[in-house]
Chain A
Amino acid sequence: KNEVEQSPQNLTAQEGEFITINCSYSVGISALHWLQQHPGGGIVSLFMLSSGKKKHGRLIATINIQEKHSSLHITASHPRDSAVYICAVQNSGAGSYQLTFGKGTKLSVIP
C-alpha cells in the first residue's frame, strides 16, 4: 500500500510570497494528482502528472519519479489561494484507479 506524506501540514504566507508544498510517496505510481479543496469544501483537480513539470497560471507542479517526490509551487500568492492542497497518487498496475490521498496542506495567505 502506498504511503503518501505531505509537508508542511499548515502554512501561513504573506501575500506575494512564493509557496512550495511537498508530497512524497513510497511505491512507484502511474500518476500523481494535485487537488485544491476550498474553504466551502468543494474539491477541484489542479494537475495530473506522471513526469516532468506542468504549469497553469501561477501554479507549477513538478514530479521526480526516481525520488518519489512531487512539489506544488504557487508564485505571487494571493489570499484567494487560501485552501487545503491535497496530493493523491495513482498506483501502477491492477486497481490503478484507486487513489491514495495525503492528509492535505492547509494554506493561509494573509493580505
Chain B
Amino acid sequence: NAGVTQTPKFRILKIGQSMTLQCTQDMNHNYMYWYRQDPGMGLKLIYYSVGAGITDKGEVPNGYNVSRSTTEDFPLRLELAAPSQTSVYFCASSYSGEADSPLHFGNGTRLTVT
C-alpha cells in the first residue's frame, strides 16, 4: 500500500493565483483531513470528511474549499492565494473517528505565496 499520497511536495504561488493540493489514500479509510502547520504552532484542522460526499469545516477553513467525490481522493482548493496561506499542508486519513483508529499522514506540501 502507498498509504496517503500528497502532491505536489513544493509550490510557489503568486498572490491571487489558485491551485489544488491533491491527496489520495489506498487504505479504504472513511475519514480524511487537511491540516496546516505554521512555524512554532500546532497543526490546525482546515477541513475534514467522514465519507464520500460529506465534508465539513475545521478550525481554519477560510480561503479553502474541498470536495470528496470518492473514498480515495480529498483535494484541497485555494481559490485566491494570500501570503497568510504560506504554510506546510498535511493530508491525513483514518479508518474511523473512534479512539482506536490511528492517523496516517501524507508527506506534506510546502506552499509559499508571494
Interface centre among B48, B92, B99 (most CB of A within 10 A): B99
Quick one: CB contact mask for A84-98 with B, threshold 8 Å, 1 for yes?
001010100000111
Whether the Cβ atoms of B108 and A42 lie closer than 8 Å is yes
Whether the Cβ atoms of B43 and A33 lie closer than 8 Å is no
- Number of chain B interface residues as a range: 20 to 34
Interface SS of chain B: loop
A contact residues around B101 at 8 Å (CB): 48
Whether the Cβ atoms of B58 and A98 lie closer than 8 Å is yes
Contact status of A31 and B99, CB under 8 A, knowing A41-B88, A86-B42: yes
CB of A83 to closest CB in B, whole Å: 13
Interface centre among A4, A101, A102 (most CB of B within 10 A): A101
Give residues 94-110 of A contacting B (CB, 8 Å).
96-104
Contact status of A41 and B108, CB under 8 A, knowing A86-B42, A104-B42: yes
Would you call A76 an interface residue if the criterion is a C-beta within 8 Å of the partner chain's C-beta atoms? no
Whether the Cβ atoms of B42 and A103 lie closer than 8 Å is yes
Task: Please name 10 further chain A to chain B contacts, defined as beta carbons within 8 Å, in addition to the given A48-B102, A97-B96, sorted by A numbering.
Answer: A4-B42, A33-B102, A41-B88, A41-B107, A88-B42, A98-B45, A99-B43, A101-B43, A101-B44, A102-B42
